[in-house]
Amino acid sequence: MNIDSDTPNSGVILVFDIDTDKASTISDVKLELEGQTVKGQMSNFTFHAHAWHTADDCAPFQNSIPASAQLIGTIDDNLEIVGDWTSDIGTKGRFILTYREPQKTFEVSQDSIVSWKEFRERALSDEMLSGNLIFRGQKSSDFDLTTHFHRLGRRNMRRFFNDLIYLQHVVAATQNRKLDLNNPEEFTELMFLGQHHGFPTPLLDWSFSPFVAAFFAFKDIEKNTKTEGYARVFVFDREGWKLTGPHAADSVLDPRPALRILEVLSRDNLRATPQQSIVMFSNMANIENCIQYFEGQSDRKVIRYFDIPYSERNTVMTELRHMGITHSSMFPGLDGACQALREKLFK
């Protein structure tokens, strides 16, 4: 059950099997809370088959999808909800919902801490330059790996789909073209464009360049900072994830858990090329736990990270500037140029 923080009395319920290719469903739910008792009214059930399912495969599922259902459960001290559901077609069952929110799992350790010199040398190794790896920089090692959309307390992907209509109108008005939400490529391009201009999406930015990732890790840290801490650069094996992770979701409305790497068209997105951008779509807030779960299932490591001390900030930004990686190059336009001049000319 996914509930947005600003709409606590409504959400969606997803029914899927994480270990198989069975069909799945999504439905809306309206909730009432009376003390420790939760009551829910489910409606608008949508059946999700997969591309390889035939009509005969789907028929048994489609014929058993209800129009409505009710649930009632009790919340315990661990925020676990245990209860029963019944539907208008006579089906019923018992459910257990366990509270799951992002938790910090990738901690700083002696193995993760490196100097800028060590990171630079590793970044130039044949492994790092192979093209199989992608990189993400984050300002603090305390930050979890979560999309902007999920960080704002959003979980309901049906609601997000409807919100994209507003972004679609803005893009049409400012760029004189309308991206079709029913076209998968244009839908993804719309999210990608919004992502690079501040619209919260369930996309996580990565780069093919470890040095671009280092720039994003350090760009918001003040010069000559006395603050102790570490900027973090993640390294993700996208080829290994194809063999490790869950099957890719067919759309943002697919109920199945998804963590999918997307290479997106970048028309009218001037930031995508210099940032050597690639994105990860996630319909889950808890990306770190998802990766670790599937790593454990396959016994294959697909993610690691480097923590670089804040004390090296000035050296990092100076060397990156000599590589041509600046605010001006990463953010084409007057804003980026002014930020680049600030970095160069002011203490």
Residue 294: C-alpha distances to residues 131, 258, 267, 291, 297 (Å): 22, 12, 34, 5, 5
The packing angle between helices 334-345 and 313-322, to 10°, is 120
Q: State residue 308's pLDDT score.
A: 97
The packing angle between helices 313-322 and 210-218, to 10°, is 130
Tell me, yes or no, whether 196 and 322 share the same domain: yes
Q: How far apart are CA 73 and CA 8, in angstroms?
A: 16
Domain ranges, residue 183: 116-345
Tell me, yes or no, whether 69 and 149 share the same domain: no
Tell me, yes or no, whether 305 and 202 share the same domain: yes
Tell me, yes or no, whether 196 and 51 share the same domain: no
- Cβ atoms of 236 and 318 within 8 Å: the answer is no
Tell me, yes or no, whether 86 and 154 share the same domain: no
Q: State residue 21's pLDDT score.
A: 66
* Domain finish residue from 48, 63, 97: 97
Residue 255: C-alpha distances to residues 27, 77, 83, 127 (Å): 10, 28, 21, 35
Tell me, yes or no, whether 35 and 157 share the same domain: no
Q: State residue 329's pLDDT score.
A: 86
Q: Report if residue 311 sits inside a domain.
A: yes
Q: State residue 185's pLDDT score.
A: 86
As for how many domains the chain has, the answer is 2
Q: State residue 93's pLDDT score.
A: 94
Residue with tokens 């099997």: 17
Q: Report if residue 3 sits inside a domain.
A: no
Tell me, yes or no, whether 182 and 36 share the same domain: no
* Helix/strand/coil (H/E/C) assignment for every residue in the chain: CECCCCCCCEEEEEECCCCCCCCEEEEEEEEEEECCEEEEEEEEEEEECCCCCCHHHHHHHHCCCCCEEEEEEEECCCCCEEEEEEECCCCEEEEEECCCCCCCCCCCCCCCECCHHHHHHHHCCCCCCCCCEEEEEECCCCCCCCCHHHHCCCCCHHHHHHHHHHHHHHHHHHHCCCCCCCCHHHHHHHHHHHHCCCCCCCEEEEECCHHHHHHHHHCCCCCCCCCCCEEEEEEEEHHHHHHHCCCCCCCCCCCCCCEEEECCCCCCCCCCCCCCEEEEEECCCCHHHHHHHHHHHHCCCCEEEEEEEHHHHHHHHHHHHHCCCCHHHHCCCHHHHHHHHHHHHCC
Q: Report if residue 20 sits inside a domain.
A: yes
* Domain finish residue from 47, 64, 97: 97
Q: State residue 121's pLDDT score.
A: 95
Q: Report if residue 303 sits inside a domain.
A: yes
Q: Report if residue 108 sits inside a domain.
A: no
Tell me, yes or no, whether 185 and 294 share the same domain: yes
Task: Give the pLDDT confidence of 107-156 residue by residue, as tens digits.
Answer: 899 899 999 999 999 999 988 888 889 999 999 999 989 999 999 999 99
- Cβ atoms of 226 and 153 within 8 Å: the answer is no
Q: State residue 273's pLDDT score.
A: 74
Tell me, yes or no, whether 93 and 158 share the same domain: no
Tens of each residue's pLDDT in the chain, 347 residues: 999 999 999 999 998 877 666 778 899 999 999 999 999 999 999 888 766 666 666 666 666 789 999 999 999 988 899 999 999 999 999 999 998 876 667 889 989 999 999 999 999 998 888 888 999 999 999 998 999 999 999 999 999 999 999 999 998 888 888 888 888 888 888 998 888 888 999 999 999 999 999 999 999 999 999 999 999 999 999 999 988 887 667 788 888 888 999 877 666 666 667 778 889 999 989 898 889 988 988 888 999 999 999 999 999 999 999 999 988 888 877 777 777 778 887 76
Q: Report if residue 102 sits inside a domain.
A: no
Tell me, yes or no, whether 126 and 157 share the same domain: yes
Identity of the residue numbered 320: L
Q: Report if residue 110 sits inside a domain.
A: no
Q: State residue 118's pLDDT score.
A: 97
Q: State residue 57's pLDDT score.
A: 63
Tell me, yes or no, whether 29 and 90 share the same domain: yes
Tell me, yes or no, whether 147 and 272 share the same domain: yes
List the structure tokens of 201: 């999406």
Angle at 241 between CA 240 and CA 243, to 5 degrees: 70
Q: State residue 58's pLDDT score.
A: 66
Supply the pTM of this predicted model: 0.86
For residue 237, the cross-strand partners are: 133
Q: Report if residue 132 sits inside a domain.
A: yes
